[in-house]
């Protein structure tokens, strides 16, 4: 039993539910629940229905597995995007992050995770076979691996790289280097080392 | 329009709803929504229904205005509590905080806020008349004012004190002083000053 004594079982249930969300403790949960109690009934009903509709109606794009309201997502269905390039990412948050840069006009492939034996995630749990199928179907000139620079990310990169080796496709990865605005002395050695090895022409860097 | 480009309108709606909660930014909202997307449909439905039920079914205790599942709350309806003492608090969170100390066995009165002309909250917006009625009905020997030590709290304390002056009721307030475990040098001057003025017998303080 919780050490807190709630004046109402309904309140306690609602706090319990909010406290199950990641990063939400019981104090925060209580604050959120009391906030909802002060809202109009219609607003709380709308909030709740929005969540139910999201869970029941949202789809995965049949091509890139991004979240979508339709069978094919807006990106895959957009004829002005370059269908010859696929950017491989871990999750839809990465799609959103790259889209927000407005620097990429190709398509995506959302793996739904990365290979992690420690967490029991093997290649078959991820959308890797469908990526290989897309690559093998022709018309793809480049696959950009945009996975995290962790051991798991590197493992996944290498696994995908080997799977794609038989195709005539350039496999690239995001440039690693000093963040814009960062000072050299605070950069870690690996990042600084890579940024020297992969140095770019000064003229190109000014674009 | 939001600068973020969401892959789904359903997703964006859900993020918008979560981001309306206090202290929840758009990044956190997205994280929470993606978490819910990974849960079972039944669990999301349960979460949503819990909030709707809370908003539609929770009541205010007819005596102390605490949140309750019944017309009279568990505290007011508990015959083993001392019905002669009323502790006046701003919100139900204060009731929970005091209950968690297990040091108080009287009843409560939840004002629902404190007098704050800046925020347009006047005495008539609060449960002050009902407190005066309770006090006037007889059987009450003490009213403890447990409001915040802010200007608004002081104003509300004084307002209630004047309203209760005509009754034969002791009006008390919480002891202010150095927090247990705090060092003197870090205490603010007002708190330290009050803790000297209101010093207690050493023997009593050891209880």
Number of structural domains in chain A: 2
| Partner-chain residue, chosen from B36, B74, B96, that has the shortest CB–CB distance to A51 | B36
Place A2 in a pLDDT band, splitting at 50, 70 and 90.
very low
* Per-residue pLDDT at A190: 82
Q: Does A28 touch chain B (CB under 8 A)?
A: yes
Residue A4 lies in a domain: no
Token representation of residue A88: 């491989």
Cβ separation of B37 and A30 shorter than 8 Å?
A: no
A80 and A49 fall within a common domain:
no
The reply to whether B62 falls in a domain is no
How far is CA A71 from each of CA A60, A63, A130, A160, B40, rounded to the nearest angstrom? Answer: 7, 9, 16, 25, 21
Task: Looking at the structure, tell me whether residues A28 and A120 fall in a common domain.
Answer: no
Q: Is residue A38 located within the same domain as residue A94?
A: no
Please name the member of A17, A34, A75 whose beta carbon is closest to the beta carbon of B47.
A17
Which positions 41-100 of B are in contact with A (Cβ < 8 Å)?
A: 41, 44-58, 61, 66-69, 73-75, 91-93, 95-96, 99-100
CATH number at residue B181: 3.40.1360.10
Where on the phi/psi map is residue B120: left (φ > 0), alpha (ψ -120 to 50), or beta? left
**Cross-chain Cβ contact B7/A45 below 8 Å:** no
A68-75 contact pairs (CB < 8 A, 24+): A68/B7, A68/B8, A69/B8, A69/B9, A69/B10, A73/B7, A73/B8, A74/B7, A75/A99, A75/A107, A75/A108, A75/B7
Helix and strand numbers, DSSP H then E, in chain A:
8, 6
The verdict on residue A47 lying in a domain is yes
Please determine, for residue A183, whether its predicted confidence score (pLDDT) is greater than 50: yes
Where does the pLDDT of residue B187 fall: very low under 50, low under 70, confident under 90, or very high at 90 and above?
confident
Suggest the residue from A5, A36, A39, A48 to mutate for an interface test with chain B (most B CBs closer than 10 A): A48
One domain, residues B109 and B187: yes
Q: Are residues A38 and A123 in the same domain?
A: no
Q: Is residue B79 part of a domain?
A: yes
What ipTM was predicted for this assembly?
0.80
Q: Is residue B4 one of the residues assigned to a domain?
A: no
Q: Are A23 and A107 found together in one domain?
A: no
Last residue of a domain, one of A39, A57, A75: A57
pLDDT digits (tens, 9 = 90+) for A103-154: 899 999 999 999 999 999 999 999 999 999 999 998 999 999 999 888 999 9
CATH number of the domain to which A17 belongs = 1.10.8.420
Boundaries of domain holding B168: 67-205
Is the pLDDT score of B186 beyond 70? Answer: yes
- Determine if the pTM surpasses 0.80: no
Q: Does A166 map to a domain?
A: yes
In which band, very low, low, confident or very high, does the pLDDT at B205 lie, cut at 50, 70 and 90?
low
* pLDDT score for A125: 94
B99 and B172 belong to one structural domain: yes
Tell me if A196 is assigned to some domain. yes
Q: Is A157 on the interface with B (CB under 8 A)?
A: no
**Considering CB atoms only, which of B32, B49, B75 is closest to A21?**
B32
Whether B1 is in a domain gets the answer no
Q: How confident is the model at residue A206 (pLDDT cuts 50, 70, 90)?
A: low
Residues B99 and B120 in one domain: yes
Same domain, A82 and A117: yes
Task: Identify whether residues B49 and B132 lie together within a single domain.
Answer: no
A100 to B47: CB separation less than 8 angstroms, yes or no: no
Q: What is the pLDDT of residues B74-103, one digit of tens each?
A: 999 999 999 999 999 999 989 998 888 888
**Site from A29, A54, A93, A99 to mutate, B interface, most B CB atoms within 10 angstroms:** A54
Q: Are residues A97 and A133 in the same domain?
A: yes
Let me know whether A110 and A190 are in one domain.
yes
Q: Report the pLDDT value the prediction gives residue B2, as an integer from 0 to 100.
A: 44
């Amino acid at each position: 039993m919780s050490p807190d004594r709630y004046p109402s079982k309904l309140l306690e249930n609602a706090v319990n539910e909010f406290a199950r969300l990641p990063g939400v403790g019981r104090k925060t949960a209580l604050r959120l629940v009391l906030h909802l109690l002060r809202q109009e009934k219609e607003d709380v009903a709308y909030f709740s229905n929005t969540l139910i509709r999201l869970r029941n109606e949202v789809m995965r794009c049949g091509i890139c597995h991004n979240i979508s309201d339709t069978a094919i997502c807006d990106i895959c269905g957009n004829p002005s995007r370059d269908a010859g390039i696929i950017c491989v990412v871990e999750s839809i948050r990465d799609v959103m992050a790259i889209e927000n840069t407005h620097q990429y006009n190709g398509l995506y492939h959302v793996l739904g995770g990365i290979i992690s034996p420690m967490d029991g995630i093997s290649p078959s749990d991820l959308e890797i076979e469908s990526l290989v199928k897309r690559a093998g179907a022709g018309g793809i000139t480049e696959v950009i691996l945009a996975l995290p620079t962790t051991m798991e990310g590197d493992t996944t990169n290498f696994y995908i790289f080997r799977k794609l080796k038989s195709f005539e496709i350039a496999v690239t990865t995001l440039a690693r280097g000093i963040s814009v605005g960062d000072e050299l002395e605070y950069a870690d050695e690996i990042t600084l080392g890579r940024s020297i090895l992969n140095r770019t022409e000064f003229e190109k860097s000014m674009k």
